Amino acid sequence: MIDPLTAFAVAQGAIKGIQAAIKMGKDVQGITNDVMKFFDAKDKVAKEAIKDPKKKYSSDTSQAMSTVMQLHELNKAEEELKWHFINQGHSALWTQIVLERNSIVQRRKVQEILDAKAAKNRKAEIDEAITMGLCVLVAAAIFTLVAWGIIAMKGKL
């Protein structure tokens, strides 16, 4: 798993690649790979910044500042990218990208909820099976002790 600082550096590299390609006059198709790298890295920064247990901050505020500033810079770069698409006459393409991204995020969230419910149900089934197994084991032990006691008493009579 890539840490947020590395993801941020990758995003910055992708931004520089996009800016250089734009200066060279490349159109939207010419910057596609850098755009995909940028969005991949931006998503990783957003997701991993809040989950990074290894990263030591002196305070929660410094962690928040770092995360917010990184995301602010990446959001600003995304806004510039959007305007590049629009200025190139690809506003419909940008809109399609954003709509598809939102759809993917929504499907992923729904799937995460379903997966969590399935895991919870599976755990409940396993707990129930263990409980039933222990009940059967205790019942068998009691039956064995009773049978052994009956046999021992008949032997004394």
The total number of structural domains in the chain stands at: 2
The pTM for the full model equals 0.61
Per-residue pLDDT of 101-143, as tens digits, reads 899 989 999 999 999 999 999 999 999 999 999 999 999 999 9
Q: Which candidate, 81, 66, 67, places its Cα nearest to that of 15?
A: 81
47 and 105, same domain (yes or no): no
Q: What is the pLDDT of residue 95?
A: 92
- Count the neighbouring beta carbons within 10 Å of the beta carbon of residue 7: 23
72 and 101, same domain (yes or no): no
Kindly tell me if the per-residue pLDDT of 15 is higher than 80. Answer: yes
38 and 107, same domain (yes or no): no
Pick the last residue of a domain from 44, 61, 89: 89
Which of residues 81 and 142 earns the better pLDDT score? 142
Per-residue pLDDT of 86-99, as tens digits, reads 888 889 988 998 89
Environment class of 70 (CB within 10 Å of its CB; exposed 0-12, middle 13-18, buried 19+)? buried
